[in-house]
Amino acid sequence: MPGFFGTRASLLVDLAITTFVLMPFALLPVIRLAKRGEHRRHRAAQLAFFAIQTLAVVLLEVDIRLEGGSAAIAGRAVQLDGAAVRVLLLGHIAIATTTWVGWLTLLVRSARRYSGKATPPLPGPFSRTHRRWGRWVWLGVFLTSASGVVLYVAAFT
Ligand code: HEM
């Protein structure tokens, strides 16, 4: 089924890229919730956005497999030369995977500390680590999105 951007991408790919582009911006108010001390809402939104991002990745992955794999799609890219697309694709996959694992790890560790199932509790001495890693995860989400957009333009327009 064709997507809604009028490119060669399918509907699933367009839905996924839209999610990726919006995610770093959607996370900013979620971080602001924590700054304002609304920790419960911060936690709920983090869990929801992580689930949405994961679903978007799974759908994109299924679609890419059906299309013959990312290498096949990259091979059809016309806006950049083959070597550049391969480097970008590898970088994108590395950043996306590291970010997803970091995001999941931070969620699990933070949720356990917040609910008193692990020490030190949150908020508490773990806050500094949490804040630092939270910012790295945000940067990872942003870079995943930015490199994803370049790949999308190269492969589907
Ligand atoms: C689901 C579990 C989570 C819980 C229970 C939680 C809880 C908290 C709490 C209590 C704070 C306040 C800071 C403090 O400890 O004094 C905070 C801040 C923060 N959290 Fe989370 N958090 C969770 C997940 C995440 C995730 C997954 C991220 C990153 C993607 C994140 C990013 C941040 C950031 C950047 C701040 C700092 C805000 C500031 O600058 O003050 N949090 N979080």
Burial of 117 (0-12, 13-18, 19+ CB in 10 A): exposed
Pocket perturbation via mutation, ligand 1, pick of 122, 128, 142 by most ligand atoms within 8 A of CB: 122
Ligand 1: which residue has its CA nearest to atom 23?
43
Q: How many whole angstroms from 37 Cα to the centroid of ligand 1?
A: 10
**Measured between alpha carbons, how far is 117 from 113 in angstroms, rounded to an integer?**
6
pLDDT of residue 69: 83
Nearest 5°: phi and psi at 125? Answer: -60, -20
pLDDT of residue 68: 83
pLDDT tens by residue, 33-74: 999 999 999 999 999 999 999 999 999 999 988 888 877 877
pTM above 0.95, yes or no: no
Would you call 103 helix, strand, or coil by DSSP?
helix
pLDDT of residue 152: 92
pLDDT of residue 59: 92
pLDDT of residue 109: 97
pLDDT of residue 81: 80
Apex CA 95: angle with CA 58 and CA 101, to 5°?
60
> pLDDT below 70 — which residues of the chain?
none
* Bridge partners for 10 per DSSP: 2
43 Cβ below 6 A of ligand 1: yes
pLDDT of residue 97: 96
